[in-house]
Every structure is written in structure tokens, then in C-alpha cells.
Amino acid sequence: MKKLRVFESISVDGYFTDQGGDMGWAHAGQDDAEFGAWVAGNAGGGGELLFGRKTYQMMEAFWPTPAAARQMPEVAHGMNAARKYVISKTIRPSWNNTQLIGGELVRAVRELKAGSGPGITLLGSGSVAAQLGAAGLVDEYQLVIVPIALGAGRTVFTARRTLRLVAQRAFKNGRVVVTYAA
């Protein structure tokens, strides 16, 4: 059975978007070489990627471009080479190695997890993460805590969950990466 990991950038007060849906704050201040190397290594870790529609469309618009290859070659290579799934009822994916998943979310992800092969990482897609977490399908959360307090917004946790710390790492840019087993 495949494991499902949620990878999400969150504010110190636990939100993946502010009240208006903005996530731009999550990408500010990433000029830390050590953090950049960690991101590149994390992207090259293999496995399959899962996206909600909004996150998929943002990723599809950037990672296959020459600009992405120049700015972050290791990450661009990993993103483009990975097998990808997108959950949507409205789009037709055009990014290479992408399979559309329609129908009922929880059932579709249960079927994906039941297969053999590498683990699956849900990138961003906070509302999808919340639904899958509530259904008990998330095995691990890898959270990049960004040093900003938003005061309000949307969270990936919609119910009380007890998590077990697996790893933690702090970076000079103020970000802290924590990994929790669900």
C-alpha cells in the first residue's frame, strides 16, 4: 500500500492561505541557499504527485517552462519527470505524465493508495488535504512553517488530530520544516 504525504507551506498560526485566498506570502524570502538545496533534494525524492485543480494549474503553468529550468533546474526536472495525478471535474491536463482523477475524491485516493509503487505526495492543495485528512487517508504531513502570522485564513486541519513528530529542521530564512506522522 502506498503512503500519502501532504506537503504544505503554512503560516506560524497554521494557515495555507490568508482570508482572501492569497498564498504569495509562502514564497517570499526564499533566498536561503541551504533551504534551496533542501527544496531541490526534496523534489528529487521520487514518488508520485497529487494535486487539486488550482494547485495543478499553477504548477503546470510554471514547471514545464524554460524559466523554471533556469531558476530551479533540479526541482523542474523532478516535477516534470514525476508521475502526476490531478483531481478535477473541469480541466483536461496537458502536463506530461499526468492522469486525471475524476469522481469521488476519497474513493479515488483510496484506490491510488491501494496500488503498489512509490508513495504519493499531495502538493499544496489545502482543501484537498483537509478532506483527505478528515477521511483518515493522510499518513504524513510535511509542513514548511513560514515566519509570518496571517491572523486568519484556511487550514488543512478541520478536526482535532494527534500527530507524532518524525523530523524537524530550521533554516536561516526563518522557515522550519516539520514532518509529522498521522
Structure confidence at residue 64 (pLDDT)? 96
Q: Are strands 176-181 and 164-170 parallel, antiparallel or unpaired?
A: antiparallel
Question: Per the structure block, which three cell numbers stand in for 112?
Answer: 491510488
Q: Are strands 4-11 and 140-146 parallel, antiparallel or unpaired?
A: parallel
Which residue is associated with the grid cell 514545464? 64
DSSP letters along 89-131, please? SS----STTEEEE-S-HHHHHHHHHHS-SS-EEEES-HHHHHH
Q: At what angle do helices 105-114 and 126-134 cross, to 10 degrees?
A: 80
Buried b (16+ CB within 10 A) or exposed e, 105-129: beeebbebbeeeeebbbbbbbbbbb
In angstroms, the CA 49 to CA 5 distance is 10
pLDDT per residue, tens digit, the chain (182 aa), is 999 999 999 999 999 999 998 888 988 766 788 888 888 887 766 789 999 999 999 999 999 999 999 988 988 998 999 999 999 989 999 999 999 998 899 999 999 999 888 899 999 888 899 999 999 999 999 999 999 999 999 999 988 889 999 999 999 999 999 999 99
Single-letter amino acid, residue 77: H
**Domains of the chain, residue spans:** 4-27+45-56+82-181
Burial class (CB in 10 A: 0-12, 13-18, 19+), 143: buried
- Domain 4-27+45-56+82-181 sits in CATH at 3.40.430.10
Structure confidence at residue 29 (pLDDT)? 65
